[in-house]
Amino acid sequence: MFPRSPRLWSVPLYLVLLFTCVFSLHSDEWKARHALVAPNGTMTLTIPPSPSEVFFPGPADPADPSWLPGMKAWRQERRRQLRMDESDYTNADLAWTQRTFTQVQLLVWDRSLYDPQTRRYTPEKFLAETESRLGPIDAVLLWHVYPNIGVDDRNQFDLLRDLPGGLPALKKLVDDFHRHNVKVLFPVLAWDSGTREEDAPPSRALTQLLKEIGADGINFDTLESVPADYRPASIAAGHRLAFEPQFEIRDESLAWSTLGWNDWVTWEDVPYPFTPMVSKTRWLEPRHMIDVTDRFTRDKTDSLQHAFFNGEGYAVLENLWGFWYPMSPHDAEAVYRFTRIERAFAANLASADWEPHTPALQSGVFASKFPLPQRTLWNIVNRNEYDVAGEQLRVPYRAGLHYYDLWHGAELQPRIAGQEATLSFAMEGLGYGAILATEEATSTAPLNELLPFMAERSRKPLRDYSRAWSFVPQTMVEIPATKPAAAAPPGMIKIPEGDFDFSVRGIEIEGGNDPGADVQYPWEDSPRRSHLHRLHIHAYYIDRTPVTNGQFKVFLEATHYHPADDHNFLRDWSNGTFPAGWENKPVAWVSLEDARAYAAWAGKRLPHEWEWQYAAQSGDGRLYPWGNEWNAAKVPAADRGHMRSPLADADAHPQGASPFGALDMIGNVSQWTDEFRDAHTRAAIVRGAAAYQPLGSVWYFPQTYRLDEHEKLLLMAPSRDRAGTIGFRCVVDAE
DSSP string for residues in 133-170: HH----EEEEE-STTTTTSSS--HHHHHHTSTTHHHHH
SS3 699: coil
Each residue of 259-317: pLDDT tens digit?
999 987 644 457 889 999 999 999 999 999 999 999 889 999 999 999 999 999 999 99
Structurally, at CATH architecture level, domain 16-319 sits in Alpha-Beta Barrel (3.20)
What is the pLDDT at residue 33? 28
- Number of other residues whose CB lies within 10 A of the CB of residue 82: 17
Q: Could you give the residue range(s) of every CATH 3.20.20.70 domain in the chain?
A: 16-319
List of E strands, 190-303: 217-221, 242-245, 259-262, 278-279, 289-292
CA dihedral 76, 78, 83, 86 (to 10 degrees): -60
Q: What is the mean pLDDT of each run of 10 residues along the chain (735 residues)?
A: 32 31 30 34 48 87 89 96 96 98 98 97 98 98 98 98 98 98 98 96 98 98 94 98 93 96 67 93 97 93 97 97 96 98 98 97 98 96 98 95 97 96 98 96 88 98 97 97 98 98 96 94 97 98 98 98 98 97 98 98 98 97 98 97 97 98 98 98 97 93 97 98 98 97
Q: Which residues contact 378 (CB under 8 A, 6 or more apart)?
A: 358, 367, 368, 369, 370, 393, 395, 433, 434, 435, 436
What is the pLDDT at residue 47? 56
Give the type of residue at 125: K
Instruction: Give the whole-angstrom CA distance, residue 613 versus residue 670.
Output: 13
Strand partners of residue 714: 683
Contact 654, 663 (CB under 8 A): yes
Q: Could you give the residue range(s) of every CATH 2.60.40.1180 domain in the chain?
A: 356-457
In sign, the C-alpha dihedral spanning 515, 679, 676, 671 is negative
To which H or E segment does residue 597 belong? helix 592-601
Give the type of residue at 474: Q
The matching CATH number, chosen from 3.90.1580.10, 3.40.50.2300, 3.30.70.1350, 1.10.10.10, for 475-733 is 3.90.1580.10
Strand partners of residue 421: 395, 416
List of E strands, 355-481: 355-358, 365-371, 375-382, 391-396, 402-405, 410-412, 415-417, 420-424, 432-438, 475-476
What is the pLDDT at residue 48? 59
Instruction: Give the whole-angstrom CA distance, residue 731 versus residue 599.
Output: 8
Q: Could you give the residue range(s) of every CATH 3.90.1580.10 domain in the chain?
A: 475-733
253, exposed or middle or buried, with CB in 10 Å at 0-12, 13-18, 19+?
Answer: buried
Q: What is the CA radius of gyration of the chain?
A: 28
Instruction: Give the whole-angstrom CA distance, residue 54 versus residue 67.
Output: 18
CA distances from 436 to 141, 378, 409, 562 (A): 32, 7, 11, 63
What is the pLDDT at residue 6? 33
The matching CATH number, chosen from 3.40.50.620, 2.60.40.1180, 1.10.3720.10, 3.40.50.300, for 356-457 is 2.60.40.1180
Instruction: Give the whole-angstrom CA distance, residue 519 versus residue 531.
Output: 9
What is the pLDDT at residue 248? 85
48, exposed or middle or buried, with CB in 10 Å at 0-12, 13-18, 19+?
Answer: buried
Each residue of 377-396: pLDDT tens digit?
999 999 999 999 999 999 99
Nearest to 216 by CA among 201, 206, 226, 225: 206
N-to-C CA span, the chain: 66
Instruction: Give the whole-angstrom CA distance, residue 656 versus residue 289.
Output: 56
pTM: 0.93
